[in-house]
Amino acid sequence: MADKYLLEPDVEFINQIQGLGGDTLKKCFQCATCSVACPISPETKPFPRKEMIAASWGLKDRLVGNADIWLCHNCGDCTALCPRGAKPGDVLGAVRSYAIEEYATPQWLAKMVNDPKMLPVLFLIPVAIFLVLGLFLKAVGVNWLNFSPVGEEIVHSKFFHTWLVDLIFVPTSIWVVAIFALGLQRFMKDIHENALLEGKTDKETIEGLGFLAALGRVIPTILKHKKFSECGENEARATSHMMVFYSFLGLFIVTNCFFFSLYVLQAHGPYPQMCAVKWLANVSGIALVIGSCLMIKDRLSKTDEVSTYKDWYLLFIVLGVGLTGMLTEMTRLGELAGLSYFIYFVHLVFVFNLFVFLPFSKLAHLVYRTVAMTYVEYAGRK
C-alpha cells in the first residue's frame, strides 16, 4: 500500500491548473487570510488555504476528490483580500474545472467540450445528427423533418416533428444520467476517502437513507441560494445566478408539463398564450435572457477575477438557449414563418449543447456541488 504520508508532486497537474485559470496559484505564501476571509468556509480545517498549498505542490489527489472545493461558490472575497494576488477563488474554480473533466467519461469528449478550437464541431454534431436522422427517416418513409411545412399557422412540429425531437433528447437524457452516475460513483468514493484521511468526518461509510435525508436538508439551502448570499465581494452575482437557476427550473417544469400534455393528453402545441404553463415558460425565458446577460456583464466588469473559456462557453450557450427560444416564439407570433423555423432549428442546436454536454461543461457543478454539499451535510463537517 502506498504510504499515505508520501507526497509526490505532479508538476503537470500544476501546469494544467494554471492553464485552467489558476495561473496565480504559486503566489500563495500561506498566510491564511483567505480562510479567514471566506464567509462560508467551515470552522475546522477551513479552506482555501490548504487547497492553495496542495495546488502549489501539485497534489492532485488532495484536490480533485475533495468535497471542500465544491463548497466554494467563488464569491471572490478571498481573491479580493489576498495580499499576494494568489486569487484563491480562481484557483479553486480551476480545480473544479479539472475535477469535472476528471470524473467525466468519455475523456475525449470532455476534452473536446473544453477546447475552444473544437467549438464549431460541438455545434456541427447536433446539426449533423438532426439532419442525418431526419433524412434517414424520411428515406424510410417517416416524414418527421419537413423543409416545406404547410398551413396558415406556424407550427414548429410541422417542420421538425416533436417525435423527432424526443427521439433524440430522450436517449440523450438517459446518457447524461448514466455519465453522471458513473462519475458520481467515483466522486463519492473519493470525497469520502479524502474526508476520512483528513479527519473531516467520523462517518465510516455512506449510508443511502441518511444521505437522502441530508439531500433533503440541503435542497432548501440551494433553492434559497443561502450560501451564495453569504458572500461579500460578489453579492450581485447571487441575483443573476438565481434568475438563471429559477428559469431553468421553470423551463424544466414547462417541458415536463408539455411532455405530459403531448403524450398523455394528446394535445399538440403551440399552446395558447393564456395558459398558465405558457406564462411560466415566458417568464422563465425572459429571466434566462436577463440573468445570463447580467452574468456576462458581471464577468466583463470584474477585471481582477479570471474568466476562462469554460465560463464563456457556458454563458454563451445559456444565453443562446434563452434568446433563440424567445425569438422562436416571437417570430412565430410575428408570422415570419421561414425565420421562425430557422431559429427553432438553431434553438435545438443550443439546447443540445447545453443538455448533452452537461456532464462535461461547467454546468456539471449543479450535480457535483449538490452532491458535495449533501455529503458535507451528511458527514457532519464542521
Partner 1 sequence: MDKKYGVYICTGCGIGDSLDIKALSDVADEEGHPVRTHEFLCGKAGLDMVQKDIADGTNTLVIAACSRRVNFDTFRFDGCLLDRVNLREGVVWSHPRSDFPALTEEEKEAGETFDRVQMMAEDYLKMGMVRVGKINLPEPYKLDTFSRNILVIGGGITGISAAIDAAKAGYDVTIVEKEPHIGGYAAKMRKQLPVDDPYEELIPPIINAKIDELENHSNITVKTNTVVARIAGEPGNFTVTLKKPDEKIEFDVPYPLPEEMKQDESGKDLDVEKQQELYLEYNKGKADILTIDPDGEKFGAVILAAGWRPYQPEEGEFEHLGYGKLPDVVTNCQFEEMAAKGKVTRPSDGKEAKSVAFVQSPGKGEDDSDFSYASSVTSLVGLKQAKYVREDYEDGKAFIFYQHMRTPGLSENFYKSLQQDPGIFMTKGSVVSVSKNGEGMIVEVDDTLLGEKIKVKADLVVLGTGMVPATVDDPVVNLAYRQGPSFRDIGLFDGYCDSNFICFPYETQRTGIYAAGGIRRSMTMEESMDDATGAALKAIQCLECSNRGVSVHPRSGDMTFPDFFFQRCTQCKRCTEECPFGALDDDEKGTPKPNPSRCRRCGTCMGACPERIIGFEDYNIDSIGSMVKAVGVPSEDDYDEPPMRVLGLVCENDAYPALDIAGLNRLSYSADVRLIPVRCLGSVNVIWIKDALSQGMDGVFLLGCKYGDDYQCHFVKGSELADIRMKKIGDALASLALEEERVTQFQIAIDEYDKVPKIINEFVESIEELGPNPFKGF
List contacts with partner 1 (CB under 8 A): 3, 5-9, 11, 14-15, 18, 26-27, 29-30, 50, 53-54, 56-59, 84, 198
- Using alpha carbons, select from 88, 81, 105, 70 the residue that is nearest to residue 28: 88
- Give the shortest CB-187-to-partner 1 separation in angstroms: 23
**For partner 1, which is the closer residue by CB, 23 or 166?**
23
- Give the shortest CB-19-to-partner 1 separation in angstroms: 11
- Give the shortest CB-53-to-partner 1 separation in angstroms: 5
**For partner 1, which is the closer residue by CB, 131 or 197?**
197
Supply 150's cell numbers. Answer: 404547410
Amino acid at 2: A
**For partner 1, which is the closer residue by CB, 85 or 116?**
85
With H, G, I as helix, E, B as strand and everything else as coil, classify residue 305.
coil
- Give the shortest CB-194-to-partner 1 separation in angstroms: 12
Contact 104, 179 (CB under 8 A): yes
Positive or negative torsion for Cα 131, 132, 135, 141: negative
Contact 57, 9 (CB under 8 A): yes
Distance CA 68, CA 63 (A): 8
**For partner 1, which is the closer residue by CB, 84 or 299?**
84
Q: 243-278: buried (b, 16+ CB within 10 Å) or exposed (e) per residue? A: bbbbbbebbeebeebbeebbeeeeeeeeeeeeeebb
- Give the shortest CB-360-to-partner 1 separation in angstroms: 26
**For partner 1, which is the closer residue by CB, 15 or 256?**
15
